[in-house]
Amino acid sequence: MPLILLTNDDGILAPGINALRQELEKIDGLEIWSVAPDRERSASGHAITTYRPLFPLEAKIPGARTPCYSVTGTPADSAKLAIDELLPRRPDLVISGINHGSNLGTDIFYSGTVAAALEGPILGIPAVASSLDLGPGADYGLAARFTADLALKVLREGLPPGTLLNVNIPGLPEEEIKGVRITRMGRRLYKDQWDRRVDPRGRTYYWLAGEVMELDNGPDTDVSAVAEGYISVTPVQLDLTRQDQMDRLRNWNLKV
Amino acid sequence: MPLILLTNDDGILAPGINALRQELEKIDGLEIWSVAPDRERSASGHAITTYRPLFPLEAKIPGARTPCYSVTGTPADSAKLAIDELLPRRPDLVISGINHGSNLGTDIFYSGTVAAALEGPILGIPAVASSLDLGPGADYGLAARFTADLALKVLREGLPPGTLLNVNIPGLPEEEIKGVRITRMGRRLYKDQWDRRVDPRGRTYYWLAGEVMELDNGPDTDVSAVAEGYISVTPVQLDLTRQDQMDRLRNWNLKV
C-alpha cells in the first residue's frame, strides 16, 4: 500500500493540509501520515533547526482517520523527521500543502511549502508542493481534489530522481478555472519592499512589506498561468548546476 | 567605482567575513559595504522574517575601513535589506562568506550563505558564495585571496542573469591545494541523522545530528573536487525548471 507523507508550512491545524488529508482519506489503498509544524512557519525557506531539539507530538485533529503529528520546528525539519524517524517506513510520495497563498516564480526559494516537499527528492522520493492563490473564490476543496488526483498520477507514472511538481491553483471558483498548464518558473519581485519606522527610543527599524511586481513572464510561466485563471504545474529540479556556463568558466583559468 | 555587498550567515563578527573584507579593502577602486546577521544564523536556508521588524545597527569592527552593519534577522533578510535600503546605491556584486564549513551538493538548499548570495541574482545582480571546508589546515587568508580574485574576475567578465558562483575551498594549507575545478552540484546525504532522547517528563525529542554520507559523486562534482584537494567553483542557476519533463507532463493530460 503506497505510503504518503503529508506536510506543509502553515501548521498541522491549517485548513489546507486538512482539506487535502480528507480528500486522500477517501481513496482506498493509501496509507497517509500527516506531519507538519506546530504553528504557521511561512517564509521559512529551507531552514533547519540545529540549536534546539524537536518534539513530535500526536495531534488530535477532529475527524482525522489517519495519524497526525505536530513538530516544534520548521517545515523542512518536520518532513525530514517524519521520513527518517516517525513514519513506519520510507514514504512513496511527499505532498506539501495546500499552502495558504501561491508560490510562484522566485517565491519558491522563500517557501516553506516547497522546502518541505524538497526533502522528498533530496532523499530520492517524488514530491508535490501545492499552493492556493488567495482570492475571493479560493476553494480548498477544489485544490485538494486536483492535488489528490495529481498525487495518484505521480504514484502511477513516477517522476525522475531529483524532481518535484510545484502546483499553484488560482483563487477562483471551479467554474472559472480555465484548465491546467505545464509551466516553467516565472519571475516575481516585490516593490517598495520595506516599511521604515522609528521606535520610541529613536532607532530605525524596517518591516518587510511590498507589493508584487511581475516581470519577464511569458505565457509558459507559472506566474502568467495563474494570473490567467489556469492551474500551473511546474517540474522543479534539485540539480541547480548551470551547465551552459561550465566551459566559459573553465576558460577563466582560475588559479589558487 | 564598483560597489560590493559583503554578507554571510555566521554573523558580522565571524572571522570569514572579516578576512574577506580585509582582502577586498586592499584593492584600490572598490567600494565595500558589509551587512550581515548580528549572530550566527547557519542552516537558515532562505528564511525571511515577516513576524518581527529588523533593526540595522552600525557595527564597530576593529580595523575596518569600510561600513559594517549588523541586522537582527536571517542571512536573506540582511542581504535584502542592504540592497534595498542600506547601501548608497544598487551593488554591482554580492559576495557571501567566507562560511565556516563547506556548502557542497544539496547542502546549498539549507545554506544561509548561499541564500544571502542568491538575493543578488533574484534582483539581477551577480553573486559569489564562498565557503571554507573545516580541517586542520583551513586558512581564511587563502580563501579570502581566492574569493577576492574571483570577485574581480566576475566584475570584469560578468555573469549571465540569474547566476551565482558557489565556491568551496578545501581545509588545507595553501601548498597542499591542487588547483581549481569548475564543477557541478554533487549529492551529499547524512546518515543516522537523529539523536533520540527522552526529557525528564518522559517526552521523546530529537536532535538533528548525523555523519556525512557522500553519494553519486563523479569527478566533475563539487563534493569530489574538495575531497581531492581542489577548490570547486560551481555555476548555480536561479531557474529551477526541469525543462526535460515538460512534454512528458503535458502528455499526462491533467484536467481540473
Give the pLDDT score at B50: 87
> How does DSSP assign A29-87, residue by residue?
T-EEEEEEESS--TT-TT----SS-B-EEE---TT--S-EEEESS-HHHHHHHIIIIIS
- When pLDDT is averaged across residues B221-231 and rounded to a whole number, the result is 96
Give the pLDDT score at A216: 65
Q: CB distance B208–A54 less than 8 Å?
A: yes
Per residue in B27-77, pLDDT tens? 999 999 999 999 999 889 999 998 899 999 999 999 999 999 999 999 999
Q: CB distance A256–B174 less than 8 Å?
A: yes
Give the pLDDT score at A193: 83
Residue position matching grid coordinates 499553484: A168
Report how many domains make up chain B.
Answer: 1
Give the pLDDT score at B190: 81
User: Would residue A197 count as lying in a domain?
Assistant: no
How far away is chain B from the Cα of A31, in angstroms, using its nearest Cα? 24
Q: Which of A80, A122, A236 sits opposite B106 (nearest CB)?
A: A122
Q: Taking CA atoms, what residue in A is nearest to B176?
A: A256
- Residue B233 vs residues A100, B41, B99, B103, B158: alpha-carbon distances, Å: 38, 24, 15, 11, 15
> Do the strands B68-71 and B31-37 form a parallel or antiparallel pair, or are they unpaired?
parallel
Q: Taking CA atoms, what residue in A is nearest to B40?
A: A51
Per residue in A7-53, pLDDT tens? 999 999 999 999 999 999 999 999 999 999 999 998 899 999 988 99
Per residue in B121-143, pLDDT tens? 999 999 999 999 999 999 999 99
How far away is chain B from the Cα of A63, in angstroms, using its nearest Cα? 25
User: Would residue B138 count as lying in a domain?
Assistant: yes
Tell which of B188, B242, B252, B255 to mutate to test the A interface (max A CBs under 10 Å).
B242
**Partners of residue B120 in chain A, C-beta under 8 Å:** none
Count CB-CB contacts under 10 A for residue B168: 29
CATH at residue B89: 3.40.1210.10
Q: CB distance A249–B242 less than 8 Å?
A: no
User: Would residue A85 count as lying in a domain?
Assistant: yes
Count CB-CB contacts under 10 A for residue B18: 22
Q: Is the peptide bond prior to A98 cis by the omega test (within 30 degrees of 0)?
A: yes
**Partners of residue A255 in chain B, C-beta under 8 Å:** 179-180
User: Would residue B253 count as lying in a domain?
Assistant: no
Count CB-CB contacts under 10 A for residue A28: 6
pLDDT band at B120 (very low <50, low <70, confident <90, very high): very high
pLDDT band at B216 (very low <50, low <70, confident <90, very high): low
- When pLDDT is averaged across residues B83-100 and rounded to a whole number, the result is 97
ipTM over 0.95: no
Give the pLDDT score at B2: 98
8 Å CB contact between A48 and A77? yes
Alpha carbons within 13 A on the beta-carbon side of A68: 21
Q: Which domain holds residue B102?
A: 3-185+218-240
Q: What is the mean pLDDT for each group of 10 consecutive residues in chain A (256 residues)?
A: 97 98 97 97 90 95 97 96 97 98 94 97 96 95 98 96 96 97 91 89 92 81 96 96 95 94
Residue of higher predicted confidence among B21 and A191: B21
Q: Which of A46, A193, A238 sits opposite B46 (nearest CB)?
A: A46
User: Would residue B197 count as lying in a domain?
Assistant: no
How far away is chain B from the Cα of A77, in angstroms, using its nearest Cα? 9
* pLDDT higher than threshold 90 for residue B178: yes
Grid coordinates of A215: 516581470
Q: Taking CA atoms, what residue in B is nearest to A195?
A: B53
Give the pLDDT score at A42: 87
Q: CB distance B255–A180 less than 8 Å?
A: yes
User: Would residue A138 count as lying in a domain?
Assistant: yes
User: Would residue A89 count as lying in a domain?
Assistant: yes
